[in-house]
Amino acid sequence: MDIMNEIRVQEQFDAGVSPSEHATPVNTGDNEERTRLLFLGPSEGPIGGALSLFQSYAEIFSRDPRLDIEVINTAPPPDYRAAKRTLRTLVNGETVTRTGRILRQFSTKIGKADVALVFTNNHFSFALIPPMVAIAHAKKKPIYLKTIGGDLDVAIAGLKPPLRQYVLKAFRSLDGILAETQLLKNALEAMGCDNVYYIPNCRSQTDQLPVETRSPAAPGELRAIFLSQIHEDKGVFVLLDALQRLEMQTDLKVMCDFYGPIFPATEEAFRHQLGKLNRAEYQGVLPIGAAPGVLAAYDVLVLPTHYIHEGHPGILIEAMQAGTAVISTQHRAIPELVTDGVDGLLVPPRDPDALAEALTHLARHPEKVAFMGAAHADRFVEFSSERVIETVSDIIRSQIYPE
């Protein structure tokens, strides 16, 4: 796209052209019932929830006879965690270069697509969505945003007023925002976005395990697992503190294995604290898809997160697949996934005393562990990829083939 075209595209966006003015049915000749989907997201790169979810979408889309998909990879480089920076400061020069590459590819490919679905996190969406909306609607192509994480509302509220209005104008012009949590949907609607759909995080139903594969622990014992990024914001140090209190103050045998990629800024303190415990070990990083089978060997998944970007943590849905009870926090939308006292326990964030009490309660009541695990498995149907992604397919096709 040359500079004059870019200017004309931006002028159309600034004029406030609505999605309905752009979205027109596409005639694909003999194949008119197949929708050409341009799908943007992390198709490779560092192991994490975003990659796992994107791959689930791509796999199920590829099996949908109604769709022809083309993927633009938006993933950061595999070593992006190597720099000693926090989760909140991952934007750098590489991100700017990557944004330019993605926008060039999008501008080239969107003309041959029927619809675009952009799968991205908050801050990257601020860079990508305004120009993508302008380009897509100039070419009369509908465009949808699938959020990664659940704090888009917090990120928007943190912008300075002129930038906030610029971003919100672009988001309101999207043909749809697929929000990961009901909490986020409600917040975006309060900001004037009337184009929001609730589309929860999900995992494949084929990976669900029978609950009876787990043998119960003996009274006074508990097999716990932490499976997430080893980072302070995921509550790893809160859990280490709680485990140390249990070892020092009780005769309970609560063991805990830690799995997940270690952020360099966290590693020294994590290994130091871990070394003080007798019944806790770090077990490395699991390959994508292995979590449910590993979770099935434990009594409870512990995720004491206070991570600001948290939406529906994929590991909590994988615990549903495994029929594993959960201890997590009353943070953001986590209560949408875990009902306190039914399929798990919820404690306040950053509270090692409350976490130690929850671990103690389950160690002393193994019958509740089994009950909560079974109840958690019962909820999985709400979050199965097959069901959720079919809904997404219906939404994005409805703009092309209205009834």
Domains 3-202+385-398 and 206-383 share a fold: yes
pLDDT of 43 reads 83
Question: Of 347, 348, 326, which is closest to residue 338 (Cα–Cα)?
Answer: 326
pLDDT of 98 reads 85
pLDDT of 22 reads 43
CA angle 219-225-228, nearest 5°? 160
Look over the chain and give the mean of its residue pLDDT values, rounded to a whole number: 87
Q: pLDDT (tens digit, 9 = 90+) per residue, 303-343?
A: 999 998 899 999 999 999 999 999 999 999 999 999 999 99
Class of the CATH domain delimited by 3-202+385-398: alpha beta
Q: Is the pLDDT of residue 127 over 50?
A: yes
Domain boundaries along the sequence of the chain: 3-202+385-398, 206-383
Separation CA 146–CA 33 (nearest Å) = 23
| CA 78 to centroid of chain Cα atoms | 18
Q: pLDDT (tens digit, 9 = 90+) per residue, 72-112?
A: 999 876 665 454 444 344 455 667 888 899 999 999 999 99
Separation CA 387–CA 321 (nearest Å) = 14
User: How many of the other CB atoms lie within 10 Å of CB of 73?
Assistant: 15
Say if residues 178 and 199 touch (Cβ distance below 8 Å). Answer: yes
Q: Is the pLDDT of residue 11 over 50?
A: no
Radius of gyration from C-alpha coordinates of the chain? 22
Separation CA 396–CA 159 (nearest Å) = 29
Q: Is the pLDDT of residue 7 over 50?
A: no
Its pTM stands at 0.85
Give the type of residue at 219: P
Q: Which CATH architecture has domain 206-383?
A: 3-Layer(aba) Sandwich (3.40)
Q: Confidence class of residue 216 from pLDDT cuts 50, 70 and 90?
A: low
Q: Confidence class of residue 28 from pLDDT cuts 50, 70 and 90?
A: very low
| CA 127 to centroid of chain Cα atoms | 19
Write the burial class of residue 108 (CB in 10 Å: 0-12 exposed, 13-18 middle, 19+ buried): exposed
Q: pLDDT (tens digit, 9 = 90+) per residue, 263-272?
A: 999 999 999 9
Q: Please list, in sequence order, all residues whose beta carbon lies within 8 angstroms of the beta carbon of residue 68, skipping any fewer than 6 positions away.
A: 34, 35, 36, 37
CA angle 72-187-329, nearest 5°? 90
163-172: long-range pairs with CB below 8 Å, 24+: 163/126, 166/130, 167/126, 167/129, 167/130, 168/192, 168/193, 169/16, 169/130, 170/13, 170/129, 170/130, 170/133, 171/129, 171/145
Per-residue CA distances from 364 to 132, 301, 359 (Å): 55, 16, 9
CA angle 24-37-121, nearest 5°? 105
DSSP character at residue 262: B
Question: Of 200, 228, 219, which is closest to residue 337 (Cα–Cα)?
Answer: 200
Q: pLDDT (tens digit, 9 = 90+) per residue, 144-166?
A: 999 988 999 999 999 999 999 99
